Structure 1
């Protein structure tokens, strides 16, 4: 057992090795390459498609169970309390600002457009006739279609909505309402429903983790297929996409959140960056908000001077529902794929992207590969296939580390602002001795 454990690589290393192997093997080959009369391109396409179908299979039950459990766990409105209400309000505000920054950045840089044309061919994205029809159908809508977005949020038949990738927003809204009103049911009913949905969520988590074990194989097929068809040209749009996400994350972390600290908290942002540096470094290296939580709490209480009462409520809640970096990434990724397909999103479609990114960043943030599931929902809502998701895995590891650091820092900003709002003294005091209030 010791030998097996010693040589067991973490999943992200397996994916990176798969990407490197796919490039080494496929770049010298042409699309017509065969082995024993079997097309290698067809084999790679089959492997990649199989992995994407597995991801698509878990989307509806996983998202529905996750959102119901998450909303139910917040408790009924009267029990959330003053601090809870303000905390959730800040989390919604910071996530919305992050998404808008991502939306602005991707519209300015347009990573999915190369030389004025959609990068669909460079990225080797298929263009079946039904997709072309879908693009014609959803492109160029007026702002009046925003009313249609709100109508689609309420399904006439939840079962039909669950089976239609274009109606996943309705499934999310149903899950939010179901989780909210579970708190109104009788004690016995609440317990039964909570146990059922928690069981569904745990089971879907295991299925998702099982599918993700095959991610290196799936990524190998997707990258190899793209590299065979387009060569190194496919990585030019991906490089622009990568830099767009990095810039947007940096802007949100060092400009937006700093302004929120200054205006809402009345504190010096530089002092907070210094206090939270160990937590941000841990978040970047582990790419896990949950694993960073103890370090975040320690930095807040010992270095930022936030009380245990505030930090012990705000930070665990933030690790569950506040994912600024994730929401920003979802928005940029979905827009990148839409641009690559040549889909000119109207204000109505972009509003839908923002809304779904906001909701899914709350509902599916705590699950493995949450961004993939959320992006799948957004793509389905705007009528695009999941094929483009495979491309995102090429740059996902580094971006995951960056967006996790943003997530953690946003949580810590909320804790400081809530502590100041609650009248705590000594929060980010400009001296070496900070005495936190323990309550």
Structure 2
């Protein structure tokens, strides 16, 4: 096939009980608060703790096979896009620049923000399911040699996410160099694996109201009403990192697209309104095309760049996913080294390609789990935090949609200069 894959694979659509999960969280917190300090709490926790742990383990077991399949399909799609012409290559350069900057901003800003607004003490109750034991921090030499796993099966057993991510990224690139018949066979395999794993994680997440209720009850029994404060703090801090991406979109449109911030803001109002109401970049695509028209961008540029951006680009992924991992690391008292932060950014960048267009809850697990594992950060708190993802997801969609149009304006401007 020599470099391109023409066949487009569609993943199964999974509809998740997001509101029910949120209701399970609130109900669990309220029940825990009512039972806290009473004689019945120990008996209740004897039943609910194993239920929560079982659901958490079911969530964890889906991460590696789902990430592997989505990563292969996403990178193959990206490789195909890179051969679509000069405009596609300019767009991809911008996309990678934005994604890298997105992760770096969070690495710098998140610790500063947590110093100014410390995590409430009640949030320590989120760590109840985290196994005790000190994390082994590799040196620079060990980190470099760990990038390549001599045994990929052993790496999966040890959940060594960075070498696994690198392996499957290289595997996907190798697929694009195969003859078309062989590439299609492998892609059909990974497509089927991805759909099967999406159905499996969909079943697990359908049980999220029960699992989250059980976990939240234990958290509230230890933290009391402070659990609500802790979750509110988490939502605001993580959403703030998405806010930086949103601001970056206006700056990109201004400096690269030559569109003044006021004009850009006015043109973006319809698309942003749809983004907030639907929390879906795909559903916002018609409104994004309308905003591009209001900005006077060339129709052929907008009709090419915006659908491609919806398919392969999620600007907030490195910023907000790294923010969640850094929040949990700070909460758990994990001091991250530069090599661990570099590993997190690398995984965040690659994983963002494979998690585009997934429902928020699935994307949360698929994207942040590997980042946390690669950085040596506990992933157990993610099982509870997924219940409130619907709120930060508003900022994710708002910033993603705005950045998509900003990138379109920059590509259109550069295209004009090359005409």
TM-score, scaled to structure 2:
0.88
> Comparing 73-82 with 42-51, which one deviates more in the overlay?
73-82
Segments of structure 1 that go 5 or more residues without pairing to the other structure are 1-8, 426-439
Q: 1:88 to 1:231 in 2, by over 3 A?
A: same
1:73 is matched with which residue: 49, 74, 77?
77
2-side partners of 1:272 and 1:222: how far apart?
44
Pair 1:304 & 2:272 matched: no
- Please state how far the C-alpha of 1:122 moved relative to its aligned partner: 4.0
The aligned counterpart of 1:253 is 246
1:94 is matched with which residue: 87, 95, 98?
98
1:268 is matched with which residue: 260, 272, 282?
260
- Please state how far the C-alpha of 1:27 moved relative to its aligned partner: 0.5
The aligned counterpart of 1:14 is 20
**What SS is found at the alignment partner of 2:365?**
helix
2-side partners of 1:155 and 1:93: how far apart?
28
Deviations 1:114-155 (A, max 9, x none): 58x987744343454xx3232xx22xx6xxx44543432222
2-side partners of 1:75 and 1:387: how far apart?
34
Matches within 5 A, 1:152-231: 152-165=146-159, 167-231=160-224
Q: 1:215 to 1:133 in 2, by over 3 A?
A: same
Q: 1:377 to 1:127 in 2, by over 3 A?
A: closer
Q: 1:339 to 1:17 in 2, by over 3 A?
A: same
1-side partners of 2:27 and 2:290: how far apart?
41
> Comparing 63-72 with 203-212, which one deviates more in the overlay?
203-212
The aligned counterpart of 1:151 is 145
The aligned counterpart of 1:288 is 280
2-side partners of 1:252 and 1:325: how far apart?
6
TM-score, scaled to structure 1:
0.84
Q: 1:31 to 1:376 in 2, by over 3 A?
A: farther
**What SS is found at the alignment partner of 2:126?**
coil
- Please state how far the C-alpha of 1:111 moved relative to its aligned partner: 7.4
Deviations 1:69-99 (A, max 9, x none): 1111234587243222211111111122222
2-side partners of 1:220 and 1:112: how far apart?
31
2:383 is matched with which residue: 386, 390, 412?
390
Say if 1:113 and 1:119, in contact at 8 Å, map to a contact too: no
Q: 1:294 to 1:206 in 2, by over 3 A?
A: farther
The aligned counterpart of 2:352 is 361
1-side partners of 2:111 and 2:29: how far apart?
30
The aligned counterpart of 2:304 is 313
- Please state how far the C-alpha of 1:44 moved relative to its aligned partner: 2.3
Segments of structure 2 that go 5 or more residues without pairing to the other structure are 1-14
2-side partners of 1:214 and 1:184: how far apart?
41
- Please state how far the C-alpha of 1:185 moved relative to its aligned partner: 0.7
**What SS is found at the alignment partner of 2:380?**
helix
Deviations 1:315-347 (A, max 9, x none): 222223221223211111101111111111111
2-side partners of 1:10 and 1:266: how far apart?
41
Say if 1:276 and 1:299, in contact at 8 Å, map to a contact too: yes
2-side partners of 1:285 and 1:379: how far apart?
30
2-side partners of 1:265 and 1:111: how far apart?
35
Q: 1:418 to 1:14 in 2, by over 3 A?
A: same
The aligned counterpart of 1:125 is 128
1:82 is matched with which residue: 81, 86, 98?
86
The aligned counterpart of 1:61 is 65
> Comparing 409-418 with 388-397, which one deviates more in the overlay?
388-397
Tell me how many residue pairs correspond in the alignment.
402
Q: 1:180 to 1:118 in 2, by over 3 A?
A: farther
Say if 2:29 and 2:219, in contact at 8 Å, map to a contact too: no
Q: 1:147 to 1:294 in 2, by over 3 A?
A: farther
2-side partners of 1:232 and 1:102: how far apart?
29
Q: 1:346 to 1:32 in 2, by over 3 A?
A: farther
Say if 1:282 and 1:292, in contact at 8 Å, map to a contact too: yes
1-side partners of 2:100 and 2:323: how far apart?
13
RMSD: 2.6
